[in-house]
A and B are shown apart, each in its own frame.
Chain A
Amino acid sequence: MDVQVSFTLNGKMVSAAAGSATLLVDLLRNRFGLTGTHVGCDTSQCGACVVHVDGASVKSCTMLAAQIDGCAVDTIEGLSGNGELHPLQQAFHEHHALQCGFCTPGMIMSAADLLKRNPRPSELEVRDWLEGNMCRCTGYHNIVKAVRAAAGVMGEEGS
Chain B
Amino acid sequence: MREFDYYRAGSVRDAAKRLAASGNAMLLAGGMTLLPALKMRLNEPSELIDLGGIDELKGVKLSRKGAHIGATTTHVEVAGNVELRAAIPVISQAAESIGDPQVRNRGTLGGSVANNDPAADYPAVALGLGATIITNKRKISADSFFVGLFETALGTGEMVTEVLFPLPQRAGYAKFPNPATRYALVGVCVAQFKSGVRVAVTGAGPSVYRLEDFEEALEGDFSSDALDGLSVSAANLNDDMHASAEYRAHLVGVMARRAVAMALD
Contacts and interface: CB of A to CB of B under 8 A. Distances in A.
Interface of A: 1, 3, 19-21, 23, 42-45, 47, 50, 56-59, 62-64, 66-67, 69, 110, 113-114, 129, 131-133
B102 interface: yes
A47 B261 CA distance: 35
B101 A1 contact: no
A61 B52 CA distance: 17
A114 B36 CA distance: 25
9 contacts: A1-B4, A21-B2, A44-B35, A47-B100, A56-B105, A57-B102, A62-B106, A131-B99, A132-B103
- B: contact size bracket: 20 to 34
Given A58-B106, A64-B35, A1 B100 contact: no
B148 interface: no
B22 to A, nearest CB: 13
Contacts of B100: 47, 131-133
B32 A44 contact: yes
B137 interface: no
Contacts of B35: 23, 44, 62-64
B106 A63 contact: yes
A20 B101 CA distance: 26
B154 to A, nearest CB: 23
Interface in B155-200: 181-182
A8 B193 CA distance: 49
A17 to B, nearest CB: 12
Contact of B5 (A1, A50, A58, A133): A1
A43 B36 contact: yes
Given A63-B31, A132-B100, A58 B105 contact: yes
Nearest to A129: B101
B6 A62 contact: no
B3 interface: yes
A10 B8 CA distance: 24
Given A20-B6, A43-B39, A63-B106, A110 B50 contact: no
A38 to B, nearest CB: 14
Contacts of B106: 58-59, 62-63
Contacts of A113: 101
A64 B32 CA distance: 11
A133 B50 CA distance: 27
B7 to A, nearest CB: 9
B20 interface: no
Given A20-B6, A42-B39, A63-B35, A131 B52 contact: no
A63 to B, nearest CB: 6
A118 B182 CA distance: 22
Contacts of A133: 100
Nearest to A2: B6
A59 B3 contact: no
B52 A57 contact: no
B127 interface: no
Interface string B202-227: 00000000000000000000000000
B4 A21 contact: yes
Interface string B1-29: 11111101000000000000000000010
A69 B35 CA distance: 18
Contacts of A20: 3-6, 48
Contacts of A1: 3-6
In this complex, the member of A47, A50, A66, A129 whose beta carbon has the largest number of chain B beta carbons within 10 angstroms is: A66
Contacts of B201: none
